[in-house]
Amino acid sequence: MLTKKQRDLLVFIRDRVADGGVSPSFDEMKEALDLKSKSGIHRLITGLEERGYVQRLPNRARALEVIKFPEGLPEGSNPRPNASVKPSAKQITDPFYKGTNAVSLPLVGKIAAGTPIEAIQNEGDFMDIPPSLLGAGEYYALMVEGDSMINAGIHDGDTVIIRKVNSVRDGAIVVALIDGQEATLKRIYRRDGKVVLEAENDLYKPRILTPERVQIQGELSSLIRTYH
């Protein structure tokens, strides 16, 4: 038996697919069900999937297929088979890459390339990446805010692909978590027992911190830029 929220979500997905041919985004589902976080939507979808009502399509970000409906579900148009979410503005369309083997990376939030900002977690957001951009290891994606890394070719609005590591060589561009709450993208150096986070823009001064205040959460692997 489904909960009321699960039934409401199933109806919403069905109606959106019937109307536009694509499944709603996590944000749209969250707003429709008046939930405070996308983690609630994730749990509802997992419950529907476990009960055989929906299916996640492989190699596509947030792609859902409605398989069946419970008895008593409000009437509506049947969904189109194998409907899936269209790529968002944050997803890649590569004319040389058809996307059949795309790797979906978590788009975990925004990273400051300037004054550090609080790390923003966007549970449920993903990004399709051609595997040619990735190597061995675990990766995630971040949106860049700020201009402190422009001399390294990293601009405001870019998306950076980060390989998860906790130690790097001096001079690497890293995601550094400061005091457990602020995330920033900078070059890292160790000098005289301190950690130095340096910008690639003369307008920004280096930040010099004690090692216990800095946690490396990954190293820059590649960059994606969208032109509008």
107, 216: one domain: yes
- Of 59-63, 136-140, 142-146, 199-203, where does mean pLDDT reach its minimum? 59-63
**pLDDT the model gives residue 141:** 87
Given its phi and psi angles, is residue 180 left (phi above 0), alpha (psi -120 to 50 degrees) or beta? Answer: left
147, 206: one domain: yes
**pLDDT the model gives residue 5:** 87
Cβ atoms of 23 and 79 within 8 Å: the answer is no
Q: What is the chain's mean pLDDT, rounded?
A: 77
Mark which of 66, 90, 114 sits at the end of a domain: 66
User: Is residue 77 in some structural domain?
Assistant: no
Structural domain boundaries enclosing 181: 103-224
pLDDT in tens, 134-187: 778 888 888 888 899 999 999 988 889 999 998 899 999 999 999 888 889 999
pLDDT in tens, 64-92: 778 887 766 555 444 333 333 333 333 33
Percent of the chain with pLDDT over 90: 25
114, 57: one domain: no
Tokens 């944000």 belong to which residue? 27
115: domain CATH number is: 2.10.109.10
User: Is residue 158 in some structural domain?
Assistant: yes
Examine the pLDDT at 13 and tell me if it is beyond 60: yes
Helix axes 38-50, 4-20, angle to 10 degrees: 90
Q: Which helix (H) or strand (E) holds 55?
A: strand 54-56
Number of domains in the chain: 2
Q: Which long-range contacts (CB under 8 A, 24 or more apart) does 31-37 make?
A: 32/8, 33/5, 33/8, 33/9, 37/123
- Hey, which residues are catalytic here? 148, 186
Examine the pLDDT at 42 and tell me if it is beyond 50: yes
112, 161: one domain: yes
Examine the pLDDT at 132 and tell me if it is beyond 60: yes
The Cα–Cα gap between 117 and 217 comes to: 15
Give ∠ CA 95-100-101 in degrees, rounded to 5: 105
User: Is residue 92 in some structural domain?
Assistant: no
Q: With CA atoms as reference, report the closest residue to 43 among 57, 32, 29.
A: 29
User: Is residue 22 in some structural domain?
Assistant: yes
123, 190: one domain: yes
108, 215: one domain: yes
The Cα–Cα gap between 31 and 191 comes to: 48
**pLDDT the model gives residue 58:** 57
Examine the pLDDT at 20 and tell me if it is beyond 70: no
Tokens coding 38: 């996308």
User: Is residue 86 in some structural domain?
Assistant: no
The Cα–Cα gap between 156 and 143 comes to: 8
107, 220: one domain: yes
Q: For residue 93, how many C-alpha atoms fall within 13 Å in the half-sphere facing its CB?
A: 6
Percent of the chain with pLDDT over 70: 74
Confidence of residue 59 (pLDDT cuts 50, 70, 90): very low
Examine the pLDDT at 202 and tell me if it is beyond 50: yes
Q: For residue 215, with 0-12 CB atoms within 10 Å meaning exposed, 13-18 middle and 19 or more buried, which class applies?
A: middle
112, 190: one domain: yes
The Cα–Cα gap between 102 and 152 comes to: 27
Higher pLDDT, 122 or 145: 145
Which amino acid belongs to residue 200?
Answer: E
CA 155, chain centre distance (Å): 18
41: domain CATH number is: 1.10.10.10
138, 41: one domain: no
107, 217: one domain: yes
Give ∠ CA 172-224-185 in degrees, rounded to 5: 35
Examine the pLDDT at 120 and tell me if it is beyond 70: no
